Amino acid sequence: MVTTLSDLIDMIERSTVPLWLRDQILAKSDVIDQAMRNGGSITLQGPHGEEIQIRAANHLAPAA
């Protein structure tokens, strides 16, 4: 239940995250959690070729 304006704004913000990404974050929460704890990264792929990489701060990004 939305109780404060702050919660309402959080809810609005979350609604801009594409549904596929929200679903994948929920479905793969354990894998994401593990990757974050180990300082790793995980890439989530969307239905239209989108790719989002979630990376722990101490993980080195691959060289371009």
Partner 1 sequence: MLVVLFSLLLTLYLVIPEAIFRTIFGWFVPPRNFVLSKTETAYRAIGIAALPFTLALFGCWYLPGMKAFPFPVRDNSSQLRRTDYRTLTESLYSDTEFQRLRTQFWPAFARCSRRQARLIFWYALLIILEASLAGELAKHFARYKANLVYQWIADKLLFSYISEWHPLLTPYSYVDPNTTVQADILCTNGTLYQGRVSQHFLKDGQLTGIFLQEPKRFDREEYLKAKSEGGDPSRSDFWKTIPSDNLYFFADKIINMNLSYKAPEQLDSRIIAKLIAAVLKRPFLPGQITITQRKPPLR
Task: Provide the token pair at 42.
Answer: 């995980």
Using CB under 8 A, pick the residue from 1, 3, 13, 60 that binds partner 1.
Answer: 13
Residues 20-49 that bind partner 1 (CB under 8 A): 21-22, 25-26, 29, 32-33, 36, 43, 46, 48-49
Among 51, 60, 63, 64, binds partner 1 (CB under 8 A): 51
Burial 35-52 (b: 16+ CB within 10 A, else e): bbeeeebbebeeeeeeee
| Whole-angstrom distance, CA of residue 10 vs CA of residue 62 | 32
List of residues contacting partner 1 (CB under 8 A)? 4-6, 8-10, 12-18, 21-22, 25-26, 29, 32-33, 36, 43, 46, 48-57
